[in-house]
């Protein structure tokens, strides 16, 4: 039976979250195997470029709702438009990227369309009668297989779990415009202001992550200012430790991660926490510095393709999960490691 | 103001999880309140300390799964309600959110329904927006700070987090909010609180009490398994100095095409 698959293209003010193209890639493959078609759904304001990109990334159709009322991220009007698009296009499956917005809108779509949602899936098998989704639970300590018995099946795919299609610059098309007839007075939220983040690579999208643990504050060679309290001295040392991690991350174009211990100790913002109560990541390369490897941290990073551990304690559990281990003080290893890598990458 | 905070009981995050005959097993690990829910309880207590009012903890779970409610009571919430029914076995998140929305209405509504950002067992983060949809309330997720709250005129201003940064949002009340870890450290239960919680009584509502039929679930979980253990051969990098080890590590990484 031919299938219509709708992929939600998540963007903020026209800047697309890269995992949206992964969602479109899955939609294309799923549609192709059934002789059906893949459509992209783009909601917001000023969407010509995003719609054009969606054609280049392979969408057969692009559904667009372009209206100032949809400009900012307000879940309610956007969810109303997802529902309207689904009722018009009648997809068998709707695929969202598991971004902050994608997760919320998928959750709401399942309620609005009287169906079900399978969230943050890492594998999809549509070779049989029904789509079987695999998703990690307990932060990846276990895997669950899920099926959804109603239509449309709403799915969110984990970032970097599926291949991103190659865009074809020669591909183009004419989007289908959806009618936007939302009542502005019916929307009970408004955006007062936005503080945009300026810092580097996000953990979820990162190909390489360099992480620091408790060890970042344990450099014996530092000479902290005398006037600091004991607690402030520890933070001061930790910041110096994270500077070494940032240098390495900068060289590799990597994101900076952290263990819960280092976040709870105040060494770095929670935004960087990897683990069961932080972010679950699976980069190609994960370099753990001064991290012992608590089970909660391992749950958040052990699906990384290659793990490198640098820790002066030879018995640290992290070494059991590492492809390469360096038993030494991270403060002594990181500067020459960064220099060696820089020399290699520049050669 | 009136706040309902939804909490869930989960196995401790330090637990080693296994599957035996298709059943999830966490050994002798203790059961705890979902760690993310503690931030929601903390926010609820701070908001009512400022504004006056009452906090009710709401928990859906199997009979006797009272750890989350007990912890919330020990932290200082005023009252609690448990929803439990054998017909909720295997309920998916859409079904659970429908039941929670009905329970929130039976409690008599609230100015705010607070959640943790997700649970550490199923890791979905779907319930806050879904409950909001059933209630017809706005949904504000991953809120790290409450800038201003005025239950009198029914308005709230919060800071929520997205990939691109923080967004300050004005919303009408009532609203559903999920609280992120950035909110700030939750308090430890006091000795008096723990004593009070151990003696507290709270109603346990069935689906019939909520005037609900057993909700149908679209999503089922036919299989749960342990992930295949990757065979990892760890190579400890040899060298007489940190410099030598760094050099050798880079060579190995190049040879393994990691870079």
- Quote the CA–CA distance of A151 and A90 in Å, as a whole number: 9
Amino acid B233: pLDDT: 92
- What gap in Å lies between CA B259 and CA B248, rounded to an integer? 14
Minimal Cα–Cα distance from A49 to chain B, Å? 19
B91-126 pLDDT tens trace: 999 999 999 999 999 999 999 999 999 999 988 999
Q: Is the domain A4-186 a CATH 3.90.180.10 member?
A: no
Residues 209-268 of A with CB under 8 A from B: none
Indicate the DSSP class of residue A303: T
On whether the CB atoms of residues B244 and B141 are closer than 8 A, the answer is: no
Question: Across B139-206, where does the E strand assignment appear?
Answer: 139-150, 155-162, 165-172, 175-179, 204-205
What gap in Å lies between CA A220 and CA A328, rounded to an integer? 13
Residues of A in contact with B172 (CB under 8 A): 188-189
The sign one gets for the Cα dihedral B235, B241, B247, B250 is positive
Residue in chain B closest to A116 (alpha carbons) equals B218
Strand A123-125 versus strand A132-137 pairing type: antiparallel
- The CA distance from B185 to the nearest CA of chain A, in Å, is 9
**B252 and chain A: CB distance < 8 Å anywhere?**
yes
Contacts for B10 with CB less than 8 Å, ≥ 6 apart: B31, B32, B33, B34, B68, B119, B120, B121
Quote the Cα angle for A341-A342-A346, to 5°: 115
DSSP string, A142-164: EEEEEEE-SSSEEEEEPTTSSPP
- The torsion angles phi and psi of B229, rounded to 5 degrees, stand at -75, 120
Q: Cβ of A150 under 8 Å from any chain B Cβ?
A: yes
Interchain contact, A147 vs B219, CB within 8 Å: yes
CA distances from A258 to A79, A163, A261, A266 (A): 34, 27, 8, 11
Nearest-by-Cβ selection for A148 from B123, B163, B218? B218
Q: How many CB atoms lie within 10 A of CB A146?
A: 24
Return the CATH number of B2-210, one of 2.60.40.770, 1.10.760.10, 3.40.50.620, 2.60.120.10: 3.40.50.620
> Is A200 an 8 Å CB contact of chain B?
no
CB count within 10 Å of CB B105 equals 14
What pairing do the DSSP bridges indicate for beta strands B112-116 and B139-150? unpaired
Q: How confident is the model at residue A26 (pLDDT cuts 50, 70, 90)?
A: very high
Give the closest of B163, B167, B225 to A194, CB-based: B167
Asked if B164 and A15 come within 8 Å (Cβ–Cβ), the reply is yes
Q: What is the pLDDT of residue A198?
A: 67
pTM of the complete model: 0.92
Residue B215, chain A, CB below 8 Å: the answer is no
Residue A79 sits at the chain B interface (C-beta within 8 Å): yes
Residue boundaries of the structural domains of chain A: 4-186, 208-346
B79 touches chain A (CB under 8 A): no
Burial level of A58, CB count in 10 A (0-12/13-18/19+)? buried
Determine the topology of domain A208-346 in CATH. Rossmann fold (3.40.50)
Q: At A347, is the pLDDT very low, low, confident or very high (cuts 50, 70, 90)?
A: confident
Indicate where chain B has its CATH 3.40.50.620 domain(s). 2-210
> Mutating which of B235, B242, B252 best tests the A interface, going by the most A Cβ atoms within 10 A?
B242
What is the helix (H) or strand (E) element at residue B197, kind and residue range? helix B191-199
Summarize pLDDT for A284-307 with one digit per residue, the tens.
999 999 999 999 999 999 989 999
Q: Which residues of A touch B36 (CB under 8 A)?
A: 277
The gap from C-alpha A101 to its chain's centroid, in whole angstroms, comes to 11
B25 touches chain A (CB under 8 A): no
Backbone dihedral region of A206: left (phi > 0), alpha (psi from -120 to 50 degrees) or beta? beta
The answer on pLDDT for A188 being more than 70 is yes
Q: Which of B22, B25, B31, B94 has the most A C-beta neighbours within 10 Å, making it the best mutation to test the interface with A?
A: B94
Nearest CA-CA partner of A247 in A140, A162, A174, A333: A333
Q: Do A252 and A210 touch, CB atoms closer than 8 A?
A: yes
Q: Which residues share a beta bridge with B156? A: B149, B171
Query: Which parts of chain B sit beneath pLDDT 70?
Result: none
Chain B residue closest in CA terms to A315: B236
Residue of chain B minimizing CA distance to A205: B163
What's the gap in Å between the CA of B250 and the closest CA on chain A?
A: 7
pLDDT the model gives residue A199? 62
Query: Which of chain A's residues have a Cβ under 8 Å away from the Cβ of B124?
Result: 119-120
Q: Are strands B2-7 and B112-116 parallel, antiparallel or unpaired?
A: parallel
* DSSP structure string for A82-110: HHHHHHHH--SEEEEESSHHHHHHHHHHH
Phi, psi of B87 (to 5 degrees): -70, -5
Nearest to B43 by CA among B149, B166, B197, B155: B149
Residue B219 in contact with residue A117, Cβ under 8 Å?
yes
Q: What average pLDDT does the segment A237-251 reach?
A: 97
For helices A100-112 and B127-135, angle between their N-to-C axes, nearest 10 degrees? 40
Pairwise CA distance, residues A82 & A51, whole Å: 16
Interface test with B, best of A139, A326, A329, A345 (most B CBs within 10 A): A326
Residue of B17, B169, B242 lying closest to A142 (CB–CB): B17
């Amino acid at each position: 039976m031919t299938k219509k698959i709708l992929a939600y293209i998540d963007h903020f003010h026209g800047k697309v979250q890269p995992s949206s193209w992964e969602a479109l890639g899955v939609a294309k493959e799923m549609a192709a195997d059934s002789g059906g078609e893949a459509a992209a759904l783009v909601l917001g304001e000023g969407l010509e470029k995003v719609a054009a990109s969606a054609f280049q990334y392979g969408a057969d159709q692009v559904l667009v709702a372009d209206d100032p009322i949809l400009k900012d991220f307000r879940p309610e009007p956007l969810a109303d438009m997802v529902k309207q698009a689904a009722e018009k296009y009648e997809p068998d499956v709707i695929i969202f990227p598991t971004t902050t917005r994608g997760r919320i809108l998928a959750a709401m779509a399942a309620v609005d369309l009287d169906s079900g949602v399978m969230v943050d899936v890492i594998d999809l098998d549509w070779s049989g009668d029904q789509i079987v989704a695999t998703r990690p639970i307990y932060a990846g300590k276990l895997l669950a297989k899920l099926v959804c018995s109603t239509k449309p099946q709403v799915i969110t795919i984990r970032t970097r779990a599926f291949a991103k299609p190659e865009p074809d610059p020669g591909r183009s098309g004419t989007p289908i415009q959806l009618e936007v007839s939302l009542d502005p007075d019916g929307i009970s939220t408004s955006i007062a202001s936005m503080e945009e983040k300026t810092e580097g690579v996000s953990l979820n999208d990162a190909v390489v992550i360099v992480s620091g643990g408790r060890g970042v504050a344990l450099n014996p060679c530092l000479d902290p200012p005398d006037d600091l309290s004991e607690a402030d001295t520890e933070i001061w040392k930790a910041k110096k430790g994270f500077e070494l991690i940032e240098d390495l991350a900068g060289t590799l174009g990597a994101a900076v991660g952290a263990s819960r211990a280092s976040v709870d100790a105040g060494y770095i913002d929670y935004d960087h926490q990897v683990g069961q109560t932080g972010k679950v990541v699976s980069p190609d390369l994960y370099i753990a510095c001064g991290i012992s490897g608590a089970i909660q941290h391992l749950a958040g990073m052990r699906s990384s393709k290659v793990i490198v551990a640098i820790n002066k304690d030879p018995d640290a559990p992290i070494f059991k999960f590492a492809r390469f281990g360096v038993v030494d003080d991270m403060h002594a290893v990181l500067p020459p490691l960064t220099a060696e890598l820089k020399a290699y990458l520049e050669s | 103001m009136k706040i309902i905070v939804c909490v869930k009981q989960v196995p401790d995050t330090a637990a080693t999880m296994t599957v035996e005959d298709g059943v999830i097993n966490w050994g002798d690990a203790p059961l705890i309140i979902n760690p993310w829910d503690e931030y929601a309880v903390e926010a609820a207590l701070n908001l009512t300390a400022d504004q006056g009012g009452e906090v009710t903890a709401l928990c859906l779970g199997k009979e006797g799964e009272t750890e989350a409610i007990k912890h919330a009571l020990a932290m200082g919430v005023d009252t609690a309600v448990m929803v439990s029914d054998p017909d909720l076995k295997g309920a998916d998140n859409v079904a659970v959110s429908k039941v929670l929305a009905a329970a929130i209405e039976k409690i008599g509504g609230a100015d705010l329904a607070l959640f943790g950002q997700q649970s550490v067992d199923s890791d979905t983060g779907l319930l806050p927006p879904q409950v909001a949809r059933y209630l017809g309330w706005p949904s504000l997720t991953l809120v790290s700070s409450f800038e201003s709250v005025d239950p009198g005129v029914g308005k709230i201003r919060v800071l929520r987090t997205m990939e691109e940064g923080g967004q300050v949002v004005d919303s009408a009340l009532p609203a559903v909010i999920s609280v992120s870890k950035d909110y700030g450290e939750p308090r430890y239960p006091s000795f008096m609180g723990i004593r009070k919680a151990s003696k507290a009584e709270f109603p346990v509502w069935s689906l019939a009490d909520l005037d609900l039929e057993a909700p149908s679930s679209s999503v089922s979980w036919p299989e749960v398994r342990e992930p295949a253990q990757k065979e990892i051969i760890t190579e400890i990098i040899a060298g007489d100095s940190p410099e030598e080890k760094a050099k050798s590590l880079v060579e190995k990484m190049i040879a393994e095409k990691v870079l």
